[in-house]
Amino acid sequence: FAVTLSLHDTPSIAALGFHISYDKTRLELLECEMAPEGFNLYINKENGKAVFVGAADYIEDGTLLNLRFKVLENAEDGLAEITLAVQEALNVSENKVSFSVTSGGVQVVTRVLGDVNDDGKVDRKDAVLILKNISGMALDNFSAENADYNGDGAINSLDVIAIMKSI
């Protein structure tokens, strides 16, 4: 997946030193794709330090770069924060430029929603198990976290109907 770093109300910048931090227990940074022509990006994936530099001021709003990540196989579900801290920003006249940064993240979900028997697929067997659960039957192999298929916060017949419609 890609995370876009975009600029709004852009001051004139020719050099930008920043640090990318992310949850290394859930994510791996694969690459950075640069948007503007005439500028270079140098990034150390191991420590997250990066420098964006050009011979002229960059003054456009929009995408500066895209960070491509992958979710690690052993990642736990939850919010994987991604932050960017500007260390230095200069214009072509070598004057400091002020920046404000809004950090974000991605919600990591490693389960298959609707797959209540954890066999890797959502099928009629899952719908039947949800019905059995609703009726109060004790089940040995029932993943309740996957049962709220329609995301309304409840495990009920609406989840069964949504599963049956999707298969």
* Consecutive 10-residue averages of pLDDT for the chain (167 residues): 84 91 92 82 89 88 87 88 91 90 79 91 96 94 92 94 94
Widest pairwise Cα distance in the chain: 73
Contact present, 115 and 127 (Cβ < 8 Å): no
Give SS3 for 56. Answer: strand
pLDDT of residue 53: 92
Token reading at 101: 């940064």
Label the pairing between strands 49-58 and 13-22.
Answer: antiparallel
Specify which residues 22 forms β-bridges with. 82
pLDDT of residue 36: 80
pLDDT of residue 100: 81
Going 52 to 54 to 57 to 58, the CA torsion angle's sign is: negative
- Please provide the size of the chain in residues: 167
